[in-house]
């Protein structure tokens, strides 16, 4: 049932739950993320709480307006955790998921078990570029989806490499690779670990999606949230993008948008039911053909058995 709405805490602030129970790289209390903490706490007035349990407490996430999974490593979400977060988003929660170079494979986690429900999948890649900021893995990206509200006043961002995403409706790309981008795939079986698989633009590194009354943003790079002077939060328009993401989360989803989502879900289910029905009809027809074939061959089988008995 879709019922949850954005609401302020008793302190008059919105609440943000940042997870640290899955060995996440993002930690708002570390010096390397002090600028991010400043934006969340002082600029956006978010009341920040930390989960350090190895599972997601239902009461904590339900009480939060925003939930952040900041690049888990060497830890996996249980099915109950996945189901809880999907339900949380559907009923009005907002989810930020962050990965990094190599995706789930390199980071030894299972974020895809969660985010595929929202039309997004993390690939096992990293992005390099001939244009960079003092580093071979810090591509400057100007392929920005300016029609989306999270990219207001965002013209260029820079990442510390990161991983690409596969995006399907209703999700949309927020920014993606450019013409000079080089995408390498991570493979632990390869001697080098990385192999060039794609070159060029329009391979998403960040994506957003609406799901019920909630919103989801997936970002393929954790470095852009850090204080790093080459590709961190203060470089180019990274700050604007990050602030816009959290501001978008705090804006309620219009009723018409929720209704459109429900209609699309019903339509999708109808299409799946129709496909299953057609498959059943095909199987039924094949089964009838087999019955007729067996029946047609039955007299020959009976004659064969009689001939064997007479021979004996």
Q: Are residues 230 and 262 both part of a single domain?
A: no
Within a domain: residue 162? yes
Q: Are residues 239 and 290 both part of a single domain?
A: no
Q: Are residues 74 and 184 both part of a single domain?
A: yes
CATH no. for residue 249? Answer: 3.40.50.880
Q: How many domains does the chain have?
A: 2
- Distance of alpha carbon 132 from alpha carbon 209, whole angstroms: 29
User: Is pLDDT at 64 greater than 80 in this prediction?
Assistant: yes
Output the pLDDT for position 13: 77
Domain that holds residue 114: 14-253
pLDDT tens by residue, 239-284: 999 999 999 999 887 654 544 444 455 445 555 565 676 676 777 7
The dihedral region occupied by 290, where left means phi > 0, alpha psi between -120 and 50, and beta the remainder, is: alpha
Q: Are residues 113 and 226 both part of a single domain?
A: yes
Q: Are residues 49 and 149 both part of a single domain?
A: yes
pLDDT tens by residue, 68-123: 999 999 999 999 999 999 999 999 999 999 999 999 999 999 999 999 999 999 99
Within a domain: residue 6? no
Within a domain: residue 51? yes
Cβ(240)–Cβ(154) below 8 Å: yes
Question: pLDDT exceeding 90 applies to what percent of the chain?
Answer: 62
Within a domain: residue 1? no
Cβ(224)–Cβ(232) below 8 Å: yes
Cβ(160)–Cβ(228) below 8 Å: yes
Q: How many CB atoms lie within 10 A of CB 270?
A: 10
Q: Are residues 140 and 49 both part of a single domain?
A: yes
Q: How far is CA 187 from CA 95, 170, 232, in A?
A: 29, 30, 27
Within a domain: residue 9? no
Could you report how far apart the first and last alpha carbons of the chain are, in Å? Answer: 73
Q: Are residues 175 and 144 both part of a single domain?
A: yes
Within a domain: residue 3? no
Q: Given 205, 225, 253, which residue is the final one in a domain? A: 253
- Distance of alpha carbon 236 from alpha carbon 85, whole angstroms: 32
Mean pLDDT for 224-230 is 95
Cβ(88)–Cβ(214) below 8 Å: yes
Q: State phi, psi for 274 to the nearest 5 degrees.
A: -65, -40
Output the pLDDT for position 32: 96
User: Is pLDDT at 189 greater than 50 in this prediction?
Assistant: yes
Q: Given 226, 253, 280, which residue is the final one in a domain? A: 253
Question: pLDDT exceeding 70 applies to what percent of the chain?
Answer: 77
Strand partners, 70: 98
Report residue 180's pLDDT band, with 50, 70 and 90 as the boundaries.
Answer: confident
Q: Are residues 166 and 55 both part of a single domain?
A: yes
Find, among 16, 7, 20, the residue nearest to 45 by Cα. 16
Within a domain: residue 4? no
Output the pLDDT for position 8: 46
Lowest-pLDDT choice from 21-30, 43-52, 279-288: 279-288
User: Is pLDDT at 152 greater than 90 in this prediction?
Assistant: yes
Within a domain: residue 118? yes
Q: Are residues 158 and 261 both part of a single domain?
A: no
Lowest-pLDDT choice from 203-207, 223-227, 290-294: 290-294
Q: Are residues 114 and 50 both part of a single domain?
A: yes
Output the pLDDT for position 5: 45
Q: Are residues 70 and 121 both part of a single domain?
A: yes
Q: Given 253, 276, 291, which residue is the final one in a domain? A: 253
Average pLDDT, the chain: 85
Q: Are residues 26 and 156 both part of a single domain?
A: yes
């Amino acid at each position: 049932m879709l019922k949850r709405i954005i609401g302020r805490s008793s302190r008059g602030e919105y609440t943000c739950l940042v997870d640290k129970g899955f060995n996440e790289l993002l930690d708002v209390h570390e010096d390397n993320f002090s600028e991010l903490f400043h934006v969340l706490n002082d600029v956006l007035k978010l009341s920040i709480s930390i989960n350090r349990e190895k599972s997601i407490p239902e009461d904590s996430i339900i009480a939060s307006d925003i939930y952040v999974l900041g690049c888990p490593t060497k830890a996996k979400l249980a099915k109950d955790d996945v189901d809880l977060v999907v339900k949380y988003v559907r009923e009005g929660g907002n989810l930020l998921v962050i990965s990094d170079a190599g995706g789930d494979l390199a980071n030894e986690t299972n974020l895809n078990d969660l985010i595929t429900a929202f039309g997004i999948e993390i690939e096992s890649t990293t992005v390099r570029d001939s244009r960079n900021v003092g580093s071979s893995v810090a591509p400057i990206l100007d392929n920005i989806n300016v029609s989306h509200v999270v990219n207001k006043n965002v013209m260029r961002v820079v990442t510390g490499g990161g991983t690409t995403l596969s995006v399907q409706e209703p999700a949309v790309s927020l920014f993606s690779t450019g013409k000079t981008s080089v995408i390498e795939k991570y493979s632990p079986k390869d001697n080098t670990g990385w192999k060039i698989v794609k070159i060029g633009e329009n391979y998403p590194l960040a994506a957003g999606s609406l799901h019920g009354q909630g919103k989801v943003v997936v970002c393929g790079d954790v470095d852009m949230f850090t204080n790093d002077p080459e590709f961190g939060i203060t470089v180019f328009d990274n700050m604007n993008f990050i602030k816009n993401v959290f501001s978008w989360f705090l804006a309620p989803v219009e009723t018409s948008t929720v209704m459109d989502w429900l209609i699309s879900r019903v339509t999708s289910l109808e299409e799946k039911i129709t496909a299953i029905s057609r498959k059943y009809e095909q199987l039924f027809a094949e089964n009838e053909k087999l019955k007729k074939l067996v029946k047609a061959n039955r007299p020959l089988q009976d004659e064969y058995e009689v001939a064997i008995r007479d021979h004996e």
